[in-house]
Amino acid sequence: MFFSSRLPECLDPNEFTKTLEEKKAAGATILDLTHANPTTAGFAFATTLPTPLCNVTASHYEPSALGMKAARNAVRGYYQNNDYGLVDSDDLLLTASTSEAYSFILKLLTDPDDEILIPAPSYPLFDILAMLENVRPSRYMLRQDNSGHWRIDFKSLEQEISRQTRAIVVVNPNNPTGSYMTAEELQKLSELCQRHELALIVDEVFLDYENLGDSAKPCSAITSKTALTFTLSGFSKILALPQVKLSWIHIQGPGTVKAMAKQRLEFIADTYLSVNGMIQHAASALFPYQGDIQQEILARIRTNEILLQAQMGLDPCLREGGWYALIKLPDTITDEQCCLDLLKESSLIVHPGFFYDFMENNRIVVSLITPEEDFRRGIILLKKYLHPQHAE
């Protein structure tokens, strides 16, 4: 056999993908309610590139494993200006993407067949990121509390810790439940990690997109020093510029372990030096666009969420942050069936809950950054399918 056992044996398209390809080939107009690419979602900010990207004249190349100091200072400014806390730019390491950041951290922490604990439900890419590093993903649960908010189930988390476990991954706020980690949860996680000699990996790409109301503020993991903690973020969500390819890892932890982790991560990053020099030159001039870009995205999210609330009776307060909404299905239909029916009958794309590891097959997920008119048409079709008796 030529190929690594890290890769799945079969990469052929599934029934959903085949149906979609057939529809496209037949010229069908597809309504995509999972739209997650901000550069093609009809935002005004995306019609012209921010000026710094057009003006970069970076002919000089100075390779640096951590990333250029000026770019790291700009990231430090992001945390300070948004009141998340103070970071030292020497505790930051730049990467080309958050996915690359995960791959570096897994190279740093794991040997083949080690385990990492990932949340369920959550971001579907974790299984693949782990598989490509020869690591086994093991799941801990997020569950809804009495008020419907998703919280970490610490009992299931502790039960899953084994001798092979090397790290706990948290997504803050989680994709797609939109739930933030509270300060108490962070403290508990850090103590748990310290007690079991595990690292904490916190993905904060959606941190700024909050829906917490005036009284609460998102809590970032950057200030946590109890355990070896890696906080990840990047331009793909913060500035909605996924094409720019700039992300980072903030490294924090007690005593010598932090310095050792930094030294080793630098060694890994130095092997690839994958971050584009021109983008690093432009970084400090791009952060000032944050306010305008996020305002436009948050306005879209609010408009779509109000429509969802009106059409489907959804409670918007349950979404604490992020770009996604969960829609519960009637008992008579599974998520998989619903997605296939909608595609076949109405050329409408929604994500099935199982894609994100929801245990019950009774939810679908839609993206709230979908262009408003597409979203409105798609939700009306969805309502007609789910509740034909109530549809207009």
Which of 330, 297, 300, 324 lies closest to 312, judged by CA?
Answer: 330
Of the pair 45, 323, the CB lying nearest ligand PLP is at 323
CB of 387 to ligand PLP, least distance (A): 30
Here the contacts of 271-277 (C-beta below 8 Å, separation 24 or greater) are 272/100, 273/63, 273/65, 274/95, 274/96, 274/100, 275/67, 275/94, 275/95, 275/96, 275/245, 275/246, 276/96, 276/245, 276/246, 277/58, 277/61, 277/62, 277/68
| Inter-residue contact 174 to 142 (CB < 8 Å) | yes
Q: Hey, which residues between 184 and 243 contact ligand PLP (CB under 6 A)?
A: 203, 205, 234, 236, 242
CB of 186 to ligand PLP, least distance (A): 17
CB of 357 to ligand PLP, least distance (A): 13
* Distance, CA of 146 to CA of 382 (rounded, Å): 28
Which of 41, 24, 19, 33 lies closest to 378, judged by CA?
Answer: 33
CB of 341 to ligand PLP, least distance (A): 26
CB of 46 to ligand PLP, least distance (A): 16
Other CB atoms within a 10 A radius of the CB of residue 192 amount to: 18
Of the pair 52, 321, the CB lying nearest ligand PLP is at 321
Whether omega for the bond prior to residue 176 falls within 30 degrees of 0, making it cis, is yes
CB of 275 to ligand PLP, least distance (A): 12
CB of 369 to ligand PLP, least distance (A): 11
| Residue keyed to tokens 């609330």 | 309
Q: Hey, which residues between 74 and 133 contact ligand PLP (CB under 6 A)?
A: 97-99, 123
Structure tokens at 293: 């870009």
* Distance, CA of 43 to CA of 321 (rounded, Å): 19
Count of residues engaged in binding ligand PLP, rule: CB under 6 A: 13
* Distance, CA of 278 to CA of 263 (rounded, Å): 25
Of the pair 79, 356, the CB lying nearest ligand PLP is at 356
The answer to the question of residue 172 lying near ligand PLP (CB under 6 A) is no
Element (H, E) at 300: helix 290-312
CB of 85 to ligand PLP, least distance (A): 20
Structure tokens at 61: 């190349």
The answer to the question of residue 367 lying near ligand PLP (CB under 6 A) is no
CB of 172 to ligand PLP, least distance (A): 9
Of the pair 356, 386, the CB lying nearest ligand PLP is at 356
Other CB atoms within a 10 A radius of the CB of residue 384 amount to: 14
Other CB atoms within a 10 A radius of the CB of residue 59 amount to: 7
Among 20, 108, 171, 286, interactor with ligand PLP by CB under 6 A: 171
Mask for 33-72, x = binds ligand PLP (CB under 6 A): ---x------------------------------------
Of the pair 36, 132, the CB lying nearest ligand PLP is at 36
Rg over CA atoms, the chain? 21
Of the pair 293, 386, the CB lying nearest ligand PLP is at 293
Of the pair 50, 173, the CB lying nearest ligand PLP is at 173
The answer to the question of residue 247 lying near ligand PLP (CB under 6 A) is yes
CA dihedral 358, 359, 363, 365 (to 10 degrees): 10
Q: What residue ranges bind ligand PLP (CB under 6 A)?
A: 36, 97-99, 123, 171, 175, 203, 205, 234, 236, 242, 247
